[in-house]
Structure 1
Amino acid sequence: MGYAGQVSLGQAAFYAIGGYTAGLLSVHSLPPVLGLLAAPVVSAAFAVVVGVPMLRLRGHHLAFATLATQLILLSLVGQADWAGGAIGLQGIPRLSVGGYEFAEDISYAYLVWAAVALTMLVARNVVASRPGRALRALATSETAAAASGVPVGRYRLTVFALSAAFAGLAGGIYAFYLGYIAPGSFPVLLSIEYVVMAVVGGLGTLWGALVGATAIVLLVQVLNTVGTQPGMPSYAPSVLSYAVYAVLLVLVVLFLPHGIVPALRVRMSRVRG
């Protein structure tokens, strides 16, 4: 979204595909590590299949098409008995690599940070490469990029598949951590949350994704704590979550139009100057 100008409102669909891929393979007696490795591959492959026709769309048409993809996927999975149906996929074993089993929360925390480091490294190399410069040109003007020799269609599809692979890897880790996934584990609100994270942290910057994700997750946890206090209605956590996304987007657009990280960089440059 920040570098290629493609707005996706269905990123949780690839998150779900990664989770179900890892869960199904491990439930059927394959090594859990194989399921984790397959999760980003299958998610990327699915992105290529749906991306070929879908990426012909632009702007909000593309955004709503990705949202429709998530809704269709969740509907199909909810009716598939081999995926557990609406009840969900149960009995997913703990992730194990060699003789080591990820049994504690702290081990999954280290695994997540390793995955974050890997994805940040890949994303940084992509952005700094010649294709990365082409992606930024594509985000500015597809017509100008095409006139400069950029293969617009191929690059759009490639970056779409790469982002799906990142989401699939996260979904695989999520499935092994919980040991249970269901269609309700991947609501539409999750995709909206990803967009809010990117916008709040700062589009067009890799560190913005981390800062935005950290800020949103911590804020949601605080709101959940407030919403579950005695005397609060049962629907309070959901209402507060929806409200905070709307309020945050309005505040960021008004006061930090480029996000937190770019604003901090401007402030630090002024202090140094």
Structure 2
Amino acid sequence: MVVAAGTLALPPLLSSGHLSVYILLGLAAMVTIGLSLLMGYAGQVSLGQASFYAIGGYTAGLLSVHSFPPLLGLLAAPVAAALFALLVGVPLLRLRGHHLAFATLATQLILLSLVGQADWAGGAIGLQGIPRLSVGGYEFAEDISYAYLTWAAVALTLIVAHNVVASRSGRGLRALATSETAAAASGVPVGGYRLAVFALSAAFAGLAGGIYAFYLGYIAPGSFPVLLSIEYVVMAVVGGLGTLWGALVGATAIVLLIQVLTTIGTQPGMPSYAPSVLSYAVYGLLLVVVVLFLPHGMVPAARRAVERRMTQTLTVEKR
């Protein structure tokens, strides 16, 4: 309840620049929630999550610029991303470990290459003239309206993800992440579950991509670089795989870090490639630090610290 109240109260207090960061933070959190499900519960690594983000953005943008209702474009975005995930997931999910990670990365590179050469999608220049999202007679014309829309979508993804985790299927996913052989021996449909969570995580990314397209009014292949997929992985790992709140914490930490790195990289005298180089270097260092000192992520580490503190307090009181 406190988090929900803070989410509702914060947008009117933010400046225009900070409000934009707040919106991008919410979009990143949506994608990271799905990735946390995929990596933390299904035990699958994806380095191409931004491809589903792009599918959602282009689906919403293309439908709206061709005179379809913007709301239809937004609703179609997660569906298109999930269908694309089902299509590529059938062959890709036969792979394991780093083979799967590189295969998802290759999928993103192929997708961006195809979109960049497709005139109907705007080619390398990008898709321009995407109208503002409108629902009924209400048009989302201000940033604050997109902030509320984005965080309402974050709440929706959290509710869906929580229900999945708490269900019988969620217990099967946890067994799958521990040992595929043991899960299969226990009657868990390993292939079906892996494909389903892959599609669900893609749907979350697609919904975020649809909102992103309407918010900016313009998307291009350069809007969805490989670095973006790496950022999502870092967010999920830093926050804590297998915990939904970890996705929010990780997304917050990395989005704020991105702003700091961008500020440093764009200082006078810095080369044009400085922000990217700084990002890759800091992400690599951050992953090493987290793996060494917080192997389960920030949220599980904080939870264990609180539990230890409470246990020590109770022990002292009993004495």
Q: Which amino acid aligns with 2:84?
A: F
Q: Which amino acid aligns with 1:80?
A: A
Of 130, 152, 160, which aligns to 1:122? 160
* Residue 19 of structure 2: aligned partner: none
Of 233, 242, 256, which aligns to 2:271? 233
CA distance in 2, matches of 1:140, 1:261: 20
CA offsets per residue over residues 47-85 of structure 1, 9 Å max, x none? 111111111111111111111111111111111110011
Aligned length: 273
* Residue 191 of structure 1: aligned partner: 229
* Residue 49 of structure 1: aligned partner: 87
Please list every run of at least 4 consecutive aligned residues from structure 1 whose deviation after the TM superposition is greater than 3 angstroms.
none
CA distance in 1, matches of 2:257, 2:144: 21
| Equivalent residues in 2 for 1:1-273, closer than 5 Å | 1-273=39-311
CA distance in 2, matches of 1:208, 1:183: 29
CA distance in 2, matches of 1:62, 1:241: 24
**Identity percentage over the alignment?**
88
CA distance in 1, matches of 2:183, 2:249: 30
Cα drift, residue 231 of structure 1: 2.9
Cα drift, residue 234 of structure 1: 2.4
TM-score by length of 2: 0.84
Residue segments in structure 1 that go unaligned for 5+ positions in a row:
none
Mean alpha-carbon deviation: is it higher for 221-230 or for 204-213? 221-230
What's the RMSD between the two structures over aligned residues? Answer: 0.8
Cα drift, residue 235 of structure 1: 2.2
Q: Which amino acid aligns with 1:125?
A: N
* Residue 22 of structure 2: aligned partner: none
CA distance in 2, matches of 1:66, 1:231: 36
- SS of match in other structure, 2:40: coil
TM-score by length of 1: 0.98
Residue segments in structure 2 that go unaligned for 5+ positions in a row:
1-38, 312-319
- SS of match in other structure, 1:231: coil
